[in-house]
């Protein structure tokens, strides 16, 4: 193959093919623009390949295993003595990912957007050099350029022995063909907790370590307590308030973590180490400085509320732009850039970001937590019911958790909704729509909701007696 040194001109050049990027590509290419997307490895970005969707596939398999093991009723429905075969668990995930990648390739073909597999870096304003995976190079220039390079797992190389321990990140943890005998997870955040429960349910011994005093530490106390007892009941060991002083051994064989818990030394041994301690932006070695693209203090691509970078005609979307770390936010970044490229003035200001932790049961929140409402000085009434009062939860005998809602005293407006319980992500969306419509909480209280759904619990929630802040 020959390298192309002449610059090729496009209407839109996109670096990285994540959620916001691909939607921009397909939409603009579909309307006749010349669009190129540069992607070094994952067609469609992290979500379908190494993050949201494969992790939910693993979580679902783990839930089936858990259901089969958990109760006499379920046990009698499956054959005796079943064993988890990790290669089959991972193959199921691989099949799902392959289907998603094929669907993406069809969308590229259908829209006319050109997908170029290789690594891109700026060499001048709005101009990128691509080192293609086939060994050739190309030079591309866009009238507009989008940076959507995402983030990668943060591995703290200041911790002695951490790098030589070759810890797993979510990428390798989703490719395991052997069930870890004892998985030690560093980080009790989103990735850590979702993996902890899934791997425990598949049969690993699991220890989760965090330097904070609580799991998912920024959430309200009742959420943290609910998650904490769920994990403990499932047999997960939690080591909180832990400072990691060093690691020895190699993940996959044996590892030993030297930690200090509130001043007392402790050694934690395991067979595998998974690091789930936050993210680092993919901004290195992509020539940002050459193209006049500045970084924020936190190291993300600096953008304004329309997602414009400091270089004219260059935009950034998704995690690399410092947007909240969820696929649906990257999708919304697409809307912002799309509208601005068409002459609109859509911004990221004030957008409501819902989220859902996919433990079983789920934890979901939209709007303010109690902690946040208090800090902001809102006068609110708190409606709260246990899941045991939701008829659907009773019918399936899954009554762990609660739903709660903060309602502003003066306006009856919903300030925030949190739920720890079965179906939390979907129930939250009903509340989110009510908030978006600016409706009072009574609209949900007096709504006829299909029986017996988890969302029906909203009627019970808003008919309960609230407490005041
Ligand atoms: C384990 C895990 C589970 C998650 N689960 C959820 C979930 O359930 N729900 C949710 O909303 N969010 C979830 N997230 C977060 C979600 O995955 C991210 O917020 C989302 O994928 C970010 O998308 P993005 O567009 O910013 O970047 P990405 O999707 O990461 O895309 C960036 C792309 O750029 C490519 N790239 C980088 N540099 C270059 C270069 N120089 N040249 C060419 N290509 C390059 C990368 O290969 C990558 O494909 C999860 C994250 C993890 C780690
Ligand atoms: N269901 C979902 O939507 C979902 C699932 C997975 C990931 N995500 C997104 O991906 C992002 C990254 O997830 P994550 O779990 O890597 O990060 P996180 O920020 O959610 O959690 C990181 C955890 O690691 C701990 N930690 C950091 N450094 C440490 C150290 N040296 N020692 C001990 N503990 C340490 C932190 O206290 C924190 O609890 C999340 O913020 C979330 O937005 C979303």
For the chain, the residue count is 469
Determine the pLDDT at residue 28. Answer: 98
State if residue 192 touches ligand 2 by the CB under 6 angstroms criterion: yes
Give the catalytic positions in this structure: 451
Nearest-atom number in ligand 1 for the CA of 358 is: 8
Paired residues of 249 in beta bridges: 255
Residue 200 belongs to some domain of the structure: yes
Residue 349 belongs to some domain of the structure: no
Determine the pLDDT at residue 468. Answer: 85
Distance 53 CA to ligand 1 centre (A): 11
Q: Are 110 and 168 within one domain?
A: no
Predicted structure pTM score: 0.97
Distance 284 CA to ligand 1 centre (A): 16
Residue 356 belongs to some domain of the structure: no
Q: Considering every ligand atom shown, identify the ligand nearest to the alpha carbon of residue 355 and give its number.
A: 2
Q: Are 260 and 299 within one domain?
A: no
CB-count burial class (<10 Å; 0-12, 13-18, 19+) for 299 = middle
Q: Are 231 and 109 within one domain?
A: no
Distance 37 CA to ligand 1 centre (A): 15
Sheet of 264-270, strand order: 242-250, 254-261, 264-270
DSSP string, 160-195: TTTTTT--B-HHHHTT-SS--SEEEEE--SHHHHHH
Structure tokens that stand for 36 in this block: 């190129």
Nearest-atom number in ligand 1 for the CA of 41 is: 47
Nearest to 231 by CA among 262, 199, 259, 257: 199
Contacts (Cβ under 8 Å, ≥6 apart) of 165:
247, 248, 249, 250, 251, 255, 273
Under 8 Å between Cβ of 72 and 79 = no
Phi, psi of 433 (to 5 degrees): -65, -40
Residues 305, 284: Cα–Cα separation, whole Å: 23
Query: Is residue 456 classed as helix, strand or coil in its secondary structure?
Result: coil
Contacts (Cβ under 8 Å, ≥6 apart) of 263:
none
Of 277, 306, 321, the position where a domain reaches its end is 277
Q: Kindly report, residue by residue over 81-105, the tens digit of the pLDDT.
A: 678 999 999 999 999 999 999 999 9
Q: Mark out the alpha helices in 51-114 (DSSP H runs).
A: 52-70, 72-75, 86-111
Determine the pLDDT at residue 71. Answer: 65
pLDDT of the chain along its 469 residues, tens only?
567 789 999 999 999 999 999 999 999 999 999 999 999 999 999 999 999 999 999 999 999 999 888 766 655 545 556 789 999 999 999 999 999 999 999 999 999 999 999 999 999 999 999 999 999 999 999 999 999 999 999 999 999 999 999 999 999 999 999 999 999 999 999 999 999 999 999 999 999 999 999 999 999 999 999 999 999 999 999 999 999 999 999 999 999 999 999 999 999 999 999 999 999 999 999 999 999 999 999 999 999 999 999 999 999 999 999 999 999 999 999 999 999 999 999 999 999 999 999 999 999 999 999 999 999 999 999 999 999 999 999 999 999 999 999 999 999 999 999 999 999 999 999 999 999 999 999 999 999 999 999 999 999 999 999 998 7
Sign of CA dihedral 35, 36, 42, 43: positive
Q: Are 375 and 412 within one domain?
A: yes
| Closest C-alpha residue for ligand 1 atom 1 | 51
State if residue 358 touches ligand 1 by the CB under 6 angstroms criterion: yes
Q: Are 20 and 137 within one domain?
A: yes
State if residue 425 touches ligand 2 by the CB under 6 angstroms criterion: no
The reply to whether 194 sits in an annotated binding site is yes
Q: ipTM of the predicted structure?
A: 0.98
Q: What is the domain-level CATH number for residue 399?
A: 3.30.390.30
Residues 301, 459: Cα–Cα separation, whole Å: 44
The two beta strands, 237-239 and 205-209, are parallel
CB-count burial class (<10 Å; 0-12, 13-18, 19+) for 76 = exposed
Q: Are 204 and 99 within one domain?
A: no
Q: Are 139 and 177 within one domain?
A: no
Nearest-atom number in ligand 1 for the CA of 325 is: 19
State if residue 325 touches ligand 1 by the CB under 6 angstroms criterion: yes
Nearest to 437 by CA among 376, 352, 373: 352
State if residue 186 touches ligand 2 by the CB under 6 angstroms criterion: yes
State if residue 51 touches ligand 1 by the CB under 6 angstroms criterion: yes
Q: Are 445 and 429 within one domain?
A: yes
Residue 2 belongs to some domain of the structure: no
Q: What is the domain-level CATH number for residue 245?
A: 3.50.50.60
| Closest C-alpha residue for ligand 2 atom 25 | 187
Q: Are 146 and 21 within one domain?
A: yes
State if residue 36 touches ligand 1 by the CB under 6 angstroms criterion: no
Q: Into how many domains does the chain fold?
A: 3
Residue 249 belongs to some domain of the structure: yes
State if residue 20 touches ligand 1 by the CB under 6 angstroms criterion: yes
DSSP string, 202-270: HT-EEEEE-SSSSTTTTS-HHHHHHHHHHHHHTT-EEE-SEEEEEEEEETTTEEEEEEEETTEEEEEEE
Residues 29, 6: Cα–Cα separation, whole Å: 22
Q: Considering every ligand atom shown, identify the ligand nearest to the alpha carbon of residue 194 and give its number.
A: 2
Determine the pLDDT at residue 5. Answer: 80
Q: Are 366 and 438 within one domain?
A: yes
Helix (H) or strand (E) holding 144: strand 137-147
Q: Are 238 and 187 within one domain?
A: yes
| Closest C-alpha residue for ligand 1 atom 20 | 327
Q: Are 16 and 147 within one domain?
A: yes
Distances (CA, A) of 261 to 184, 243, 245, 268, 274: 16, 6, 11, 11, 19
Determine the pLDDT at residue 82. Answer: 73
Residues 124, 122: Cα–Cα separation, whole Å: 6
Distance 224 CA to ligand 1 centre (A): 26
Residue 158 belongs to some domain of the structure: no
Of 277, 312, 332, the position where a domain reaches its end is 277
The reply to whether 150 sits in an annotated binding site is no
Q: Give the domain extent around 427.
A: 361-468
Q: What single DSSP character describes residue 286?
A: S
Residue 230 belongs to some domain of the structure: yes
Of 258, 277, 296, the position where a domain reaches its end is 277
Residues 159, 330: Cα–Cα separation, whole Å: 32
Sign of CA dihedral 457, 459, 461, 465: negative
Nearest-atom number in ligand 2 for the CA of 243 is: 32
Of 14, 16, 53, the one to substitute when testing ligand 1's pocket (max ligand atoms within 8 A of C-beta) is 16
Distance 48 CA to ligand 1 centre (A): 9
Residue 353 belongs to some domain of the structure: no
């Amino acid at each position: 193959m020959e390298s192309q040194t002449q610059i090729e001109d496009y209407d839109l050049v996109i670096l990285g093919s994540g959620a916001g990027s691909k939607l921009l590509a397909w939409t603009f290419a579909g309307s006749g623009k010349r669009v190129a997307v540069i992607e070094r490895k994952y067609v469609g970005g992290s979500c379908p390949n190494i993050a949201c969707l494969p992790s939910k596939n693993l979580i679902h398999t783990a839930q089936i295993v858990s259901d089969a093991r958990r109760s006499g009723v379920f046990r009698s429905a499956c054959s005796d003595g079943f064993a988890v075969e990790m290669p089959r668990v991972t193959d199921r995930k691989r099949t799902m990912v392959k289907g998603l990648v094929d669907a993406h390739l069809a969308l590229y073909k259908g829209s006319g957007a050109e997908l170029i597999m290789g690594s891109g870096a700026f060499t001048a304003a709005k101009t990128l050099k691509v080192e293609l995976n086939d060994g050739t190079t190309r030079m591309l220039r866009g009238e507009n350029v989008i940076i959507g390079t995402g983030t990668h797992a943060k591995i703290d190389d200041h911790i002695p022995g951490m790098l030589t321990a070759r810890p797993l990140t979510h990428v390798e943890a989703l490719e395991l063909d052997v069930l870890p005998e004892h998985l030690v997870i560093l980080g009790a955040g989103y990735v850590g907790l979702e993996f902890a429960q899934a791997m425990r349910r598949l049969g690993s011994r699991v220890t989760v370590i965090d330097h904070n005093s609580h799991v998912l530490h920024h959430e309200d106390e009742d959420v943290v307590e609910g998650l904490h007892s769920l994990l403990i009941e499932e047999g997960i060991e939690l080591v909180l308030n832990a400072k990691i002083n060093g690691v020895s051994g190699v993940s996959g064989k044996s590892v030993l973590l030297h930690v200090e818990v509130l001043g007392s030394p402790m050694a934690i041994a395991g067979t595998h180490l998974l690091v789930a301690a936050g993210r680092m932006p993919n901004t290195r070695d992509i020539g940002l400085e050459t193209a006049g693209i500045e970084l924020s203090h936190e190291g993300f691509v600096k953008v304004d509320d329309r997602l414009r970078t400091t270089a004219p005609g260059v935009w950034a979307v998704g995690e690399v732009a410092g947007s909240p770390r969820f696929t649906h936010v990257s999708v919304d970044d697409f809307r912002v850039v799309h509208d601005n490229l068409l002459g609109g003035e859509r911004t990221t200001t004030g957008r409501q970001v819902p989220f859902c932790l996919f433990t079983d049961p789920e934890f979901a929140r939209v709007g303010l937590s109690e902690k946040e409402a208090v800090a902001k000085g809102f006068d609110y009434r708190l409606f709260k019911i246990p899941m045991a009062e939701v008829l659907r939860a009773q019918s399936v005998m899954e009554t762990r958790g609660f739903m709660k809602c903060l309602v502003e005293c003066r306006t009856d407006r919903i300030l925030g909704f949190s739920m720890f319980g079965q179906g939390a992500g979907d129930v939250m969306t009903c509340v989110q729509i009510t908030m978006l419509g600016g409706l009072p909480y009574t609209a949900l209280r007096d709504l006829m909701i299909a029986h017996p759904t988890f969302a029906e619990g909203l009627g019970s929630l808003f008919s309960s007696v609230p407490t005041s802040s």
